[in-house]
Amino acid sequence: MTEYPHIHYSPKPSPRPKPSPAPNPSTTSWKSAAPYASSPTAPVPKEVIENLIMTASTAPSGAHKQPWTFCVVGDPDIKAKIREAAEAEERESYNGRMSEEWLRDLAPLGTDWQKPFLEIAPWLIVVFKKAYEMEGGERRKCYYVNESVGIACGFLLAAIHHAGLVSLTHTPSPMNFLQKILDRPDNERPFLLIPVGYPAEGATVPDLRRKGLEEVSVWF
Ligand X SMILES: Cc1cc2nc3c(=O)[nH]c(=O)nc-3n(C[C@H](O)[C@H](O)[C@H](O)COP(=O)(O)O)c2cc1C
Scanning 16-24, 37-45, 69-77, 165-173 for contacts with ligand X by CB under 6 A, the matching segment is: 165-173
Scanning 47-55, 56-64, 136-144, 168-176 for contacts with ligand X by CB under 6 A, the matching segment is: 168-176
State which residue, 80 or 109, has the beta carbon closest to ligand X: 109
CA quadruple 123, 169, 59, 20: dihedral sign: positive
State which residue, 50 or 84, has the beta carbon closest to ligand X: 84
CA quadruple 84, 198, 107, 171: dihedral sign: positive
User: 126 by DSSP, 3-state: which?
Assistant: strand
Kindly state whether residue 111 participates in binding ligand X, applying the rule CB under 6 A.
yes
State which residue, 48 or 118, has the beta carbon closest to ligand X: 118
CB of 63 to ligand X, least distance (A): 24
Torsion of CA 173, 179, 185, 188, to 10 degrees: -30
Q: Which of 33, 103, 109, 203 binds ligand X (CB under 6 A)?
A: 109
Q: Which of 1, 107, 208, 218 binds ligand X (CB under 6 A)?
A: 208
- CA–CA distance, 188 with 183 (Å, rounded to integer): 10
State which residue, 83 or 170, has the beta carbon closest to ligand X: 170
State which residue, 13 or 174, has the beta carbon closest to ligand X: 174
Asked whether 54 and 21 are in contact (CB, 8 A), the reply is: no
Kindly state whether residue 41 participates in binding ligand X, applying the rule CB under 6 A.
no
Kindly state whether residue 169 participates in binding ligand X, applying the rule CB under 6 A.
yes
Using a 10 angstrom Cβ sphere, with 0-12 exposed, 13-18 middle and 19 or more buried, the burial of residue 58 is middle
User: Could you tell me which of 166, 163, 164 has the C-alpha nearest to residue 194?
Assistant: 166
Longest dimension (CA), the chain: 56
Scanning 53-61, 74-82, 122-130, 164-172 for contacts with ligand X by CB under 6 A, the matching segment is: 164-172
State which residue, 43 or 151, has the beta carbon closest to ligand X: 151
Q: Which of 129, 130, 170, 184 binds ligand X (CB under 6 A)?
A: 170
Torsion of CA 73, 39, 169, 49, to 10 degrees: 50
Kindly state whether residue 114 participates in binding ligand X, applying the rule CB under 6 A.
no
Asked whether 154 and 171 are in contact (CB, 8 A), the reply is: no
Kindly state whether residue 171 participates in binding ligand X, applying the rule CB under 6 A.
yes
Binding site for ligand X (CB under 6 A): 109, 111, 168-172, 208
